[in-house]
Amino acid sequence: MTQMENVFAEEDTDSQGNPLQNATVDRELLRLMDERPDVVVISADMRSAVRGVRERYPERYFEFGIAETNTISVAAGMAACGMRPYVVSMAPFGAIKCAEQLRADVTSTNLPVRIVARMSGLAMGYFGASHLAVEDLAIARSLTNLTVAASSDERAIAALLRSTADHEGPLFLRVSEGVAPVYREVPSIERGRFVHVRDGSDATIIATGLGVGAAAGAAALLAQEGVEVAILDAAYLKPLDEEGIVDAATATGALLTVEEHNVSGGLGSAVAEVLGRRRLSVALRVHGTPDEHLDVATPAVLLERYGLTPAGVAEQVRLLIADK
């Protein structure tokens, strides 16, 4: 067993006891493999996250260990031969390490390779800067032909994976770990559209990944103060729901973006680009990890440190409303 497997083997929890998303990813990949004989799974040292896949379909499961760049090139070759490869890797070594292979082998050829990036954002902050994944959305957004999505909870993972089977081009799915439940059942997620999570008239939070649960918690805190915020889940970051952004800006006049990602190049930047192109004057705050070297600590400590908690997001909403 490798060092990384030992971090979350058997119990499927992070260092704080929060559930990882192993079971959902494994279950939904099995569901796809049961339905489609062309689906194969490639792992980059993530075999503990796909136990069911490797046991039920050993002939359609390929383990590459810590050779992430090779997984992308092999997946491109498989896709060119008519297969539908899903590459399960750790986010710090997915888009970030494999940007060249993604561009040259996958997106330039528009092949149906699906990257499932686990342990994203601050999930491996206890290993240091090399194991943080807070630049991956920026990289993925910049690659031509690449659809970019991020899951806010386990049910959103299921919805997004179920929506990928027939998509003809490449896809990057960022999976957040240890997140609070957002949906009571598997939501209906349409490619290129935000998911409406909550109504509100004072401000709109557009969040992605772990940020959606933090936003929901913040909304509950703010409601006690008489402040009502709408919440939109940016499950798809590319294509981006531009009309959803325009509608939210028009409705509340104040937008806060929340993401477990660098404030440069991610969701906040994408929303700002839309507002600029549409010439919309609206109060905007971008909340994520700062554009600086981050601390080394457990995920819970880092989320608190950078305000990616319900209390931290609520404070950002108060500042946003004061700027309206």
Q: Are 155 and 11 in the same domain?
A: yes
Q: Are residues 151 and 226 in the same domain?
A: no
Residue ranges making up the domain that contains 301: 195-323
Domain boundary among 175, 207, 226: 175
Q: Is residue 189 part of a domain?
A: no
Residue 181, in any domain of the structure: no
pLDDT at residue 94 in the model: 81
In Å, what is the CA distance from 287 to each residue of 85, 188, 255?
Answer: 34, 26, 11
**Within a domain: 187:** no
Q: Report residue 317 as tokens.
A: 């909403």
Q: What is the DSSP letter of 95?
A: T
**Same domain for 248 and 122:** no
Residues 267, 302, single domain; the answer is: yes
161 and 212 share one domain: no
In a domain, 306, yes or no: yes
Residues in the chain: 324
Indicate which CATH number applies to the domain containing 97: 3.40.50.970
What's the distance, CA 123 to chain centroid?
Answer: 12
What's the predicted TM-score (pTM) here? Answer: 0.92
Residue 79 lies in a domain: yes
User: Is 211 in the same domain as 293?
Assistant: yes
What integer pLDDT is reported at residue 19 of this predicted model? 47
User: Going by C-beta distance under 8 Å and a sequence separation of 6 or more, which residues neighbour residue 159?
Assistant: 186, 187, 188, 189, 235
What are the helix (H) ranges across 60-193? 68-80, 99-101, 136-142, 154-162
Domain edge (last residue) among 144, 175, 206: 175
Question: To the nearest whole percent, how much of the chain has pLDDT over 90?
Answer: 85
Where is the domain boundary, 140, 175, 210?
A: 175
- Report strand pairing: 283-289 vs 254-262: parallel
For position 21, what pLDDT does the model report? 57
Say yes or no: 110 and 218 in one domain. no
| In a domain? residue 308 | yes
Q: What is the CATH number of the domain that holds 269?
A: 3.40.50.920
Same domain, 39 and 170: yes
The answer to whether residues 101 and 211 belong to one domain is no
205 and 134 inside one domain: no
Query: Rounded distance, CA 224 to CA 274, Å?
Result: 32
Partners of 114 in beta bridges? 86, 171
Please check whether residue 180 lies inside any domain of the structure.
no
Considering the domain boundaries, does residue 51 fall inside one? yes
Domain count, the chain: 2
Same domain, 59 and 104: yes
| Interatomic CA distance for residues 247 and 244, integer angstroms | 5
pLDDT score at 183: 95
Question: In angstroms, how far apart are the furthest CA atoms of the chain?
Answer: 59
Task: Name residues of the chain where pLDDT drops below 70.
Answer: 1-22
Domain co-membership, 59 together with 168: yes
- Average pLDDT of the chain? 91
